């Protein structure tokens, strides 16, 4: 049995523009000092948020990784050097950047906005030599399933709805009603969970918003949820078929 828990207080911190944008990082960069290192083909995961003021992260470059920004709350304006124009992303929307051989972008987070930015490793040996690409997904495009005391938005399933090159990635957004609940755990997969809203009781301990779980090697992850608890889930392979960037640089 393996359930690894990273409390919000133990996650790496980040900020932009003198604290106008704050971050908690369940998976930070090596220099960030967080306790959770990259694993599977998950390299980086940041929860970024603003308060009463909007703020802009200036133009900056990326290479190699697949960078997904999930708009949890509020609104984001995005600019990149591929499309060369500003695009508005609303709550529930998603952008996927395949950075390839290089792309630069900028983001303006509106006031009271929250996002996840998550980097996947698509096999850096190959992706560094590929042309970059960019695609938006609107919230209304995703299937919603209401079943077994939870409402699940299917962002990407085993059919790879996001057309990621990073293998085996599945993404789900769950809203769970109060009471006992569980998630089935796939064989030879990590299931990564972030409590976006509300809280859960697992193994007689209460865990609040911002808690991060990595679960593998069990059949079910059982817990008791508050009413309308929101949980973000990513499924990824225990052992990707390629050597990841983190493995190449001994970052695991």
CB neighbourhood size of 77 (10 A): 15
* Cα separation, 164 vs 42, whole angstroms: 13
pLDDT at 31: 87
CB neighbourhood size of 192 (10 A): 25
* Cα separation, 160 vs 162, whole angstroms: 5
Of 215, 189, 191, 190, the C-alpha closest to 202 is 215
Q: Say if residues 93 and 137 touch (Cβ distance below 8 Å).
A: yes
Tokens of 243: 């050597």
Reduced DSSP (H G I as helix, E B as strand, rest coil) percent helix, strand, coil of the chain, to 5: 5, 55, 40
pLDDT at 1: 60
Q: How many residues does the chain have?
A: 252
Domains of the chain: 11-141 (2.60.120.10), 143-237 (2.60.120.10)
Q: Say if residues 102 and 61 touch (Cβ distance below 8 Å).
A: yes
Helix (H/G/I), strand (E/B), else coil: 50: strand
Residue 252's contacts (CB-CB under 8 Å, 6 or more residues apart) are 37, 38, 39, 246
Low-confidence ranges of the chain (pLDDT < 50): none
* Cα separation, 179 vs 186, whole angstroms: 23
Of 39, 75, 99, the C-alpha closest to 235 is 39
Please write the tens of the pLDDT for every residue from 60-102: 999 999 999 999 999 999 999 988 999 999 999 999 999 999 9
């Amino acid at each position: 049995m393996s359930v690894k828990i990273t409390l919000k207080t133990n996650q790496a911190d980040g900020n932009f523009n003198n604290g106008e944008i704050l971050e908690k990082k369940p998976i930070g960069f090596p220099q960030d000092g967080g306790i959770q290192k990259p694993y599977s083909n998950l390299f980086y995961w940041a929860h970024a948020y603003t308060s009463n003021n909007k703020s802009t992260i200036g133009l900056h470059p990326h290479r190699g990784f697949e960078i997904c920004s999930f708009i949890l709350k509020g609104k984001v304006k995005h600019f990149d050097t591929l499309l060369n124009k500003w695009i508005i992303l609303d709550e529930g929307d998603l952008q996927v950047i395949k950075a390839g051989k290089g792309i630069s972008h900028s983001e303006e987070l509106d006031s009271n906005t929250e996002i996840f930015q998550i980097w996947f490793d698509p096999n850096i040996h190959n992706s560094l030599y590929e042309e970059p690409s960019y695609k938006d997904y609107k919230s209304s495009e995703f299937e919603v399933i209401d079943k077994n005391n939870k409402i699940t938005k299917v962002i990407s399933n085993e059919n790879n709805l996001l057309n990621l090159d990073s293998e085996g990635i599945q993404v789900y957004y769950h809203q769970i009603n109060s009471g006992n609940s569980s998630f089935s755990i796939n064989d030879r997969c990590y299931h990564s969970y972030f409590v976006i809203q509300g809280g859960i009781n697992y193994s007689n301990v209460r865990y609040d918003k911002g808690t991060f779980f990595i679960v593998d090697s069990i059949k079910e992850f059982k817990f008791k949820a508050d009413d309308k608890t929101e949980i973000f889930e990513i499924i990824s392979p225990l052992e990707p078929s390629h050597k990841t960037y983190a493995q190449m640089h001994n970052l695991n």
